[in-house]
Amino acid sequence: MIGDIGRADLIAATVLSYEVFCKIADVFDYLGNGIDHSTITGIAATAGAGRLMGLTAEQMVQAIGITVGGNTATRQGRADTLSNWKAFAAADACRKAIFALELAQAGMTGPSNVFEGSYGFFKVMGRKPVAPVALGEPLGIRRAFTKRFPLGQFSQTVAQAAVEARTFVQSPDDIVEVNIRVSHAAIKIMADGPEKWRPQTHETADHSIPYAAGLVLMYGKIEPEYYEDPFLHDAKLIDLVSRIKCIPSEEADRTEQEFNLCELELVPKSGARRTVRVEYHRGHFKNPMSDAELEEKFRLMAQKQLAPDRVDNLLRRLQGLENEPQVGVLIAATTA
């Protein structure tokens, strides 16, 4: 049982899961191909959990075949008006990964050559040939980033720029216009239609560049409740969001493989335009969050599900993971 696994195995399986995800993402443009990241999450979870469950190499091959062959998701769950499924998709991919592992462990075989076959994942889901995966260093987990703010990836630099730009005005009422220059990919995913300027659901709001910028310029921070009523229909906030424009940037396109460039231009009533440029958002591996910032973010998200004393307990165990004798104790501490 996974619950009886020790800390060293858990750490190794975590690194393995990150490695599988990152190496696939290195060679496969899943965003450009319209594939949801939960698809790759499921493959990564199969590899990591399979190691914990003690599957043989042959069983792992079959489990990955079952996962890839039967569980490929499109990005429509993150486009237009968003639903509860956006937040659930990755968890569901992991649930299906465990089921695939159990099937393989029981002797079921899966599709062969699921990546490179005639109708394999890369050929059917990709739009261009896929280069061979480069194994070894640098490990993917060392190139992963953390989101400083509880919102979509492409809004991280936007929110940080808005924090800095807010100091240029006395009040949001002083703002005439905000011009946000980001990549085409950022606009396509997080500023692709009118619903991103007037979001009606939590999921659409936290996946909207203009709404994120409006929140920070209005309140100076972002809290999870800002994605719910009454904020979604607050007239002053929506009016501020309506003054925000998202403009494609050729420079952001050129550098998007390295960072999500944002240039935010604030136009106040005084006419003295000010621009804030953010390349590496707080949480990027080249601009990492501090331990205090990580703890603040953790508490912000965990407090919705666990009582304060249980949040303290879970945080203590995570911070001392190398001293946890069994994974089961840690899993029990996460149960709501």
In tens, the pLDDT along 240-286 reads 999 999 999 999 999 998 999 999 999 999 989 999 999 999 999 99
Domain residue limits, the chain: 2-144, 153-278, 291-336
Q: What pLDDT shows up at residue 111?
A: 93
Q: What pLDDT shows up at residue 4?
A: 64
Q: What is the pTM assigned to this prediction? A: 0.82
pLDDT at residue 1 greater than cutoff 70: no
Q: What pLDDT shows up at residue 278?
A: 97
Contact status, residue 46 vs residue 100, Cβ threshold 8 Å? yes
What CATH number is given for 2-144 in this structure?
1.10.4100.10
Q: What is the mean pLDDT of residues 100-124?
A: 92
pLDDT per residue as tens digits for the range 19-46: 999 999 888 888 778 888 999 999 999 9
pLDDT per residue as tens digits for the range 197-206: 999 999 999 9
Query: Given pLDDT bands bounded at 50, 70 and 90, which one contains residue 326?
Result: confident
- Do 2-144 and 153-278 have matching folds? no
Q: What is the mean pLDDT of residues 73-94?
A: 87
Query: Given pLDDT bands bounded at 50, 70 and 90, which one contains residue 193?
Result: very high
Residues 58, 60, 65, 67: what is their CA dihedral angle, to the nearest 10 degrees? Answer: 160
Mean pLDDT, the chain, whole residue set: 91
What CATH number is given for 153-278 in this structure?
3.30.1330.120
pLDDT at residue 325 greater than cutoff 80: no
Q: What pLDDT shows up at residue 2?
A: 54
Of 136-145, 165-174, 193-202, 301-310, the poorest mean pLDDT is in 136-145
Percent of the chain with pLDDT over 70: 99
pLDDT per residue as tens digits for the range 214-249: 999 999 999 889 999 999 999 999 999 999 999 999
Query: Given pLDDT bands bounded at 50, 70 and 90, which one contains residue 161?
Result: very high
Q: What pLDDT shows up at residue 73?
A: 86
Q: Is 153 left (phi over 0), alpha (psi -120 to 50) or beta?
A: alpha
